[in-house]
Amino acid sequence: MTAKSTACFGLLFLLGSGALLSCGDETSTIIRERCRSDADCTGGEVCELGECIPRDAVSCSAVDGGRPILQPGPPLVDFGQVGPATSERRLVLRNIGDCTLTLYEAFFESEDGASFFCPMCNPSEFPLELFPFRDVEIGVYFTPTPGQLGDFKDNLVLLSDDSEFAEIKIPVRARFRGVTNVKASPEVLDFGYVAVGRTAQRPVQISNLGSGTAQLVIESIELEPTATSAFSFSPELTELITLVPVMVDPSAGHTVNVRYHPRELGVNNAELVVKTNQMTNGTVRIPIRGTSQTPPKISFSPERIEFGTVPLGQTVSQPLTLVNQGGSPLRVSYSWGGTAFTTDFSALPVQVPEVEPGQYTEIRVFVTATAPGALAGLLILETNDPNRPTVTIPVSAEASDLAGAQVLKVDMTFENGDDGWFGSDLRNVDMTLENPFGLIVDKTTRNPSWGTFGNPSWVAFGTSEEPERIVLPDATQDGRFRVILTYIEDCESVPTQLVASILGISVDVLITALLGVPVGIGSGQIADVISSLCLDRSGAAATITVYANGRVIAEKAARLGSKGEFQYVADIDRINGQYSVR
């Protein structure tokens, strides 16, 4: 060895095995640094103790007594309680042995069809080599199956050449109890006018409209701004309140009674803020407003409604104009009364819109003469005018008889509790009249023309559509007419406030929708909610009364047992122009 080569060898020895010096070329000197990871090495090499060595050098066949050992972590993949969105957990697979481990396959056993997913477990990713003390991280995902609740379980199976356990099962668990959905009804609390020194109170119902058994926790309730003295509420929240979904318990809910007690003249606004444990949109803000300034003031015209002479079987109408001369919105509802009240009188709309200051609205009052002689009734207006909370308007008509003409009227009443939408009964029965040719008049076909079989009309009273009335004038042809009763809803005791809350609307909007007025919510959706709460709770009794020219010719009772049931309760025969009932 020459002196030069001896010197070069000595330098290599001093630099160590991690360095490479080219001694044959005076112009080029290359030094190779120590590796820190496999990425610092070229293909086919791994980094061991700072040195890149061939991969085969750490294979189990090359390592004396080598043993590959697979260590998954964590040993249990537990998603815990999850929401409806996809959740992710990470699983680390580590080779703690002293030679290369080969992972052949990874898959779920799918014991109960749980919705677990592992993108890196695709067969195209295998076989996968894990060198000693190397690891790989894989993602495990869970998406709840729509409509399926409960505990989900599966095993992630790992097949490898582990020296002791060629098959390792990693338990994977998740729990889905549904989702919470906090709703407050009404969504806006408008007290309207309240005089200084007086107090008005309105309830706010907080419900969990979620799915499954997911529990909603009310964490706090407060008014903002906190310094307001015009509003207060009770009860104060002294402890957390837990609400199960109303689909589990229709009575589940928390009622907050909000009070408006203005201390001075003015317009007052605040918010009732309800905070819950719901992760998204868990805080509900209910605007509250009221005024103690100029109250509403009702005036109306005419002061009495006199239809005069009305031919038997005909329908005529007159408008009743309501004017708000005050400074706050006027609210009006109405009902019929009087000792001699008859369903020959009716009015529209069923729900009178709120009248702003200086504005007016009209109620159209109808009379359909079905009995000869004098007709009289009282139209009773309930208002929020503090000086005129109740207004009574006399209504009268004189029905004139036509020789040989008969007018048929059928009235139907049914058992539905207190008839109030804030009450506890949603049962509903509908009436249909079928002519001899099978044509009908009912809620959906209110004013058909039957030619020689007459020109019938259907009308219902109040928001509960009870009683219902069908009038048949102008019939000139004999035949058999049939009265049909259909059980529409069979719910005995579910508050309408709750139904409105489930749908996320106010009670007023619900009533309007039930009356068939488009409000952005379909009748099918309303029916689905009511049906899900009612669950065939009770039957209903109904009574029909049949009149010919105002004279009762029959009265029949029926009982319907469950939703969807219908009965032919009466056959009405017209023979030689005269009606009789079988």
Report field, pTM of the whole predicted structure over 0.95: no
Residue whose pair of structure tokens reads 């004279």 in the numeric block: 551
Token representation of residue 193 = 């006018």
- pLDDT tens-digit profile of 78-130? 998 887 788 899 999 999 999 999 999 999 988 555 689 999 999 999 999 99
Within 8 A by CB and 6+ apart from 147, the residues are none
Whole-number pLDDT of residue 312: 85
CATH class of 70-176: mainly beta
Edge-to-edge strand order for the sheet containing 315-324? 298-301, 315-324, 360-368, 345-348
Whole-number pLDDT of residue 499: 62
Residue 234 CA to its chain's centroid (Å): 26
The residues of the chain scoring below 50 in pLDDT are 1-22, 24-29, 418-424, 493, 515, 517, 519, 535-536
Residue 521 CA to its chain's centroid (Å): 11
Q: Which of 377, 314, 316, 381 is nearest to 343 (CA)?
A: 377
Cα(457)–Cα(371) distance, rounded to whole angstroms?
16
What residue type is assigned to position 10 of the chain?
Answer: G
Whole-number pLDDT of residue 275: 95
**CATH number 2.60.40.10 given to 294-403:** yes
- pLDDT tens-digit profile of 480-494? 999 999 887 656 545
Residue 112 DSSP code: S
3-state secondary structure 330-390: ECEEEEEECCCCCCCEEEECCCCCCECCCCEEEEEEEEECCCCEEEEEEEEEEECCCCCCE
The answer to whether 182-291 and 294-403 have equal CATH topology is: yes
Strands 135-142 and 87-95: antiparallel
Cα(49)–Cα(86) distance, rounded to whole angstroms?
42
Whole-number pLDDT of residue 259: 95
For the chain, the domains span 1-33, 35-63, 70-176, 182-291, 294-403, 406-582
Within 8 A by CB and 6+ apart from 154, the residues are 108, 109, 110, 111, 112, 114, 116, 171, 172
CATH class of 182-291: mainly beta
Cα(185)–Cα(183) distance, rounded to whole angstroms?
7
Query: Which CATH number describes the domain made up of 406-582?
Result: 2.60.60
Whole-number pLDDT of residue 456: 93
Whole-number pLDDT of residue 10: 44
- Burial degree of 81 (CB within 10 A; 0-12, 13-18, 19+): exposed
